[in-house]
Amino acid sequence: MLDKSIIISCDKCPSDGKCSSCLDHRNYVILGNYLIYWNREYSDLSVFTDQIRKTIKVIINLILIIFTALGLIAIFYHAYLLKVTNKDLLLLNNWQGAYLLVFWVSLMFAMFLFYRLKRNRFNFEKVVNSNSFDPGSISSQISANYGVNNQKEKLTEKNIYDVLSGDVKKLLVKSWFLSKKKGSKSITSLHLFLSLLKHESVKLIFSRLGINKDSFKQKIERLIEEREDIKQKELSDFEVTMFNAYLLAYKSMSPHIRINHILTALGLSNEDVVELFLDSGVSVDQINNVITWVKLRDDLRGRYKRYKARSIFKPKGAMNRSMTAIATPFLDRFSQDMTYLAKMGYLDLNVARDNKIEEIYRIIETDNNGVILVGQPGVGKDSIIEGLANRMAAEEVPKHLQDKRLISLSLSSLVSKSSVEGQVESNLLRVMNEIIRSGNIILIIQDIHNVVGVTSAGTENVDLSEVLADVIAKYDVMIIGTTTPNDYTKYLERNPLSANLLKVDLPEPNFNETVQILEAKTFAIENKYGVYFSYQAIERIVKLTSNYIHDRFQPSKSIKILEEVAVMVRKAKGKNHLVTAGDVSKIVSEKVNIPLGEVSASESDKLMNLEELIHKRIIGQHEAVKMVSSSLRRARAELRDESKPITNLLFLGPTGVGKTELAKTVSQIFFNSEDSMIRLDMSEYQERTSIARLIGMEGSTEGGVLTEAIRKNPFSLLLLDEIEKAHPDILNIFLQVMDDGRLTDSSGRTIDFSNCIIIATSNAAAFYIQDQVALGTDLKEVKQNLLQSELRPYFKPEFLNRFSGIVLFKPLTPKEIEQITVLMLKKVTKRLENKGIHFSASEEAIKELAEIGFSKEFGARPLARAIQQRVDNSLANFLLTGKIGRRDKVVLERGGEIRIEKAKKF
């Protein structure tokens, strides 16, 4: 934006900012060969004079309209008299007299009226032509001429006021009346901004941004009252705003300064306005994007009207305007005329893909026969073809594409209706012969890889792709094909077709391009469902689908969510409601089954008390629980590197101390289900050949155990059990996963791990840990020794360095084993409750089970076996023999004795 220091002022100007009529005493900028300045004073007299002028113009126009109407009445009355008197209406001599004189005079008045209305609609003064400059180097153009006062005589002077649109001029008058009402002697940027709030387009912008206009208005009014110093400034913020608005119009190649330029200039150059928006939770970039969104609506409407108007001259059928083409009846049976569909207005307009259409133009212009658009499903291949069809219908294409038809061939229809007769090749040649003879057809073949390997049924004829390649090479048939990257590599890369058709890669649109595409789609969806999208909702859709939906591609996956959230809001809130970012988060959260959006009060309480929740299932291991809880809180608050997994943790310790149980607990709390845990026993991957099991066999379409599990369930906890037993090359794979958050499978698909929690467990150096804890060594020292020496035989230092945290699990104490016994017996209680049976255990029984199940070497694992043998087996026998029934009370006593308290029978 324009810096105040670039605006040139004369040092002879008085301090109140008023300039003499001499140009040296005006504020101006030099833009190329033009001197741009602002010269317009507002006062009671100037505003009154303007109103008088407008009134006079209206009166003159009314007089001209009256005279034009009199002429029409005169000519019709003359015709009426001729008919009444039975005179010949076609005889020239009968068309004379006073009424005809009135008509001819009124015709001159009508022409003058048309001239005045046309002149009033289109200003003769326009923003300087930016085609001769680079819009991206405005600052350098201004700076290069800064201070060159002695060359002003050679420059063309342009007053900014002369290029204002009618709406902006009205806005300035309203701003002047407002400033007068507020006690100011001149217009300020805040007065201008306050007046803007009443404009319809600005109301729409505020609605899109989710800003309360009334409260915003009150803030501006308070700010105006506080700014006493705005009445006197050497260079007012208002003038800076007008200079910036001019440069914005210049950059956008707009002929006039419009309302959107004024609003953008205010948002970019006025600190007070910027702060007001920031206080409302809206950034400057969001303001600009919403203004672009509103402008996009007008641009699309204008483009549609232009295409429709220009397509009138496009022939409807096979014939071209030069009358050199021929009919194509056989081709028409298997195809669709895209230019005809565009002419009738059935195709969507192309947005944010103009660069790819221009690339197609360049390739075809260099004497190539066509292109193959290579992109994943949903990235916009069809949209580019429809955009090209619209341009061809309007003849807004290079000369060699004008007066041609864009025809989409249906391969499935051609093959299905030909293979039965064994004539696939001959029918394709017949189609191509009509195209060659017509000379005005560009052929579209969707999924062009499908022609490879196609022959007539029951024959050993030539491959259809070879037939097509031969025709293209010999007769310069222009073809545009589409395919996916995998299909191009598999079928077309070494096929003769690729020698004739150049590859055009079509990646996913970037964030801003996807936002623009969604903005264009909202107009039809809003009209269909009667809801309205905020800009934050659009941004949220693109962000969440990019981060959390990985089995589809942009912009297709965002468009699907766009329509789905519109349906949801329509059903939940009814018509005329705003779709917010929260609504989007709710939809995506349901799809991916993880919490998104704003943290609710209940969820906040849950997150802040994670340690307590985890300890309901995990006894002891406070360091491990604390580290895991902190990682989950960071992830939920979105304070992590989103290109990497949520967290990578290594659990070290003896067997049976709760490493796996903690992983299950984390899965239950964060992903709401233990089923969201993907468990790999790394002892099964001790050979290098096991890599194929993880990522898939080379050349196979089936994915690996790891990659398929994450692809189908990207929001999960990945548990790598006994990781020290895996082959070193497999550890290198996980090193890449933890570092980059992604892994490529055998099919070339990139699998995203950025929404996974990765927990690896290891019994490495377990005896060392047990011995050191028994000796009372500080855990920090134990951990340091593990990293420096004890773990080196198992893991490389760079592998250990990839973990967000290495957690040391201590051997369990007898007291902790007793607490674990209570937890395990609660599971027995819950299972019996489902059968209507009440279960409890005495204190003596619990202590006995804990003593039996305690083991320094194996942790709590013997306890599970003890409960199974002394409790579960006995209960099973009682249930099978019918000794226990509904409402009975079962009490476990010391020695494994089961005491039954029978319930009263009804």
Output the pLDDT for position 26.
Answer: 62
Q: Are 381 and 553 in contact (CB under 8 A)?
A: no
For the CA atoms of 59, 61, 62, 64, the dihedral, rounded to the nearest 10 degrees, stands at: 120
- Please tell me the distance from the alpha carbon of residue 88 to that of residue 83, in angstroms, as a whole number: 8
Q: Tell me the average pLDDT across 263-281.
A: 83
What are the b/e assignments for 171-201, b being 16+ CB within 10 Å? bbbbbbebbbeeebebbbbbbbbbbbeebeb
Q: What is the pLDDT of residues 59-91, one digit of tens each?
A: 999 999 999 999 999 999 989 888 888 888 888
For CA atoms 603, 716, 821, 806, give the dihedral sign.
negative
% of the chain at pLDDT higher than 70:
88
Domain locations in the chain?
314-505, 511-593, 602-808, 814-901
* pLDDT tens track for 850-891: 888 877 777 778 888 888 888 888 889 888 888 888 888 999
Nearest to 506, CA basis, from 367, 411, 385, 341: 385
What's the CATH class of domain 602-808? alpha beta
Q: How many CB atoms lie within 10 A of CB 296?
A: 19
127-136 tens-digit pLDDT: 886 544 443 3
> What pLDDT sits at residue 622?
84
Question: Rounded to an integer, what distance in angstroms lies between the CA atom of residue 198 and that of residue 512?
Answer: 29
Instruction: Among 3.40.800.10, 1.25.40.80, 3.40.50.300, 3.20.20.70, name the CATH number for the domain at 314-505.
Output: 3.40.50.300
User: Residue 817 in 3-state DSSP?
Assistant: helix
Average pLDDT, the chain: 84
Cis peptide before 728 (omega within 30 of 0): no
For the cut 70, the answer to whether the pLDDT of residue 734 exceeds it is: yes
Q: Work out the pLDDT band at 553, boundaries 50, 70, 90.
A: very high
pLDDT at 244 over 60: yes
pLDDT value of residue 379: 95
- Helix count and strand count (H, E) for the chain: 38, 21
**CA 549 to CA 539: how far, in whole Å?**
15
Q: What is the pLDDT of residue 658?
A: 87
Q: Do domains 314-505 and 511-593 have the same CATH topology?
A: no
Beta bridge pairs of residue 892:
841, 898
Whole-number Cα distances in Å, 827 to 664, 831, 833, 880, 901: 15, 6, 10, 20, 20
Q: How far is the C-alpha of 439 from the C-alpha of 575, rounded, in Å?
A: 51
Q: What is the pLDDT of residues 799-854, one digit of tens each?
A: 999 998 888 888 888 888 888 889 889 988 998 888 888 999 999 998 989 888 87
| Cα–chain center distance at 407 | 31
- 833 HSE (CA, 13 A, CB side): 7
Token pair of 238, please? 């208002």
Task: Kindly state the helix (H) or strand (E) to which residue 827 belongs, with its residue range.
Answer: helix 814-833
Q: Is 530 a residue whose pLDDT tops 90?
A: yes
Range 654-681 burial, b when 16+ CB lie within 10 A, else e: bbbbbbbbbbbbbbbbbbeeeebbbebe
pLDDT above 70: residue 7: no
The residue-averaged pLDDT of 631-652 equals 83
Give tens-digit pLDDT for 156-210: 888 999 999 888 999 999 999 988 888 887 888 889 989 998 888 888 888 888 8
Token readout for 535 is 């800009």
- Taking only the tens place, the pLDDT of each residue in 498-529 is 888 999 999 999 998 999 899 999 989 999 99
The closest of 351, 215, 244 to 1, measured between CA atoms, is 244
- What does the pLDDT read at residue 580? 92
Q: What is the pLDDT of residues 610-633, one digit of tens each?
A: 888 888 888 888 888 888 888 788
For the ranges 423-427, 570-574, 732-736, the lowest mean pLDDT is seen at 423-427
Q: What percent of the chain has pLDDT over 90?
A: 30
What per-residue confidence (pLDDT) applies to 144? 37
Amino acid, res. 368: N
Dihedral pair phi/psi, residue 164, rounded to 5°: -75, 140
CATH class in words for 511-593: mainly alpha
Q: What is the pLDDT of residue 151?
A: 52
- Confidence (pLDDT) at 601: 61
Give the pTM.
0.74
Report pLDDT for 139.
Answer: 40
CA R_g for the chain: 39
Note the pLDDT of residue 90: 81
Can you tell me the mean pLDDT for 633-657?
84
579 pLDDT band, cuts 50/70/90, is: very high
Backbone angles phi, psi at 553, to 5 degrees: -125, 155
Q: What is the pLDDT of residues 370-421, one digit of tens each?
A: 899 999 999 999 999 999 998 998 888 898 888 899 999 998 888 887 755 5
Q: For residues 10 and 3, is the Cβ–Cβ distance under 8 A?
A: no
SS (H, E, C) 703-755: CCHHHHHHHHCCCCEEEEECHHHCCHHHHHHHHHHHHHCEEECCCCCEEECCC
Please give the Cα distance from 528 to 524 (Å, whole number): 6
| Residues sharing a CB contact under 8 Å with residue 297, sequence separation 6 or more, in sequence order | 523
Rounded Cα distance, 362 and 352, in Å:
18
Q: What architecture is the 814-901 domain classified under in CATH?
A: Orthogonal Bundle (1.10)
519, containing H or E segment:
helix 511-529
pLDDT at 136: 39
Closest CA to 810 of 848, 846, 844, 771: 771
How confident is the model at residue 539, as a pLDDT?
93
DSSP state of 690: G
Identify whether the C-beta of residue 372 lies closer than 8 Å to the C-beta of residue 483. yes
What is d(CA 48, CA 120) in angstroms, rounded to the nearest whole number? Answer: 20
Give residue 228's pLDDT.
56
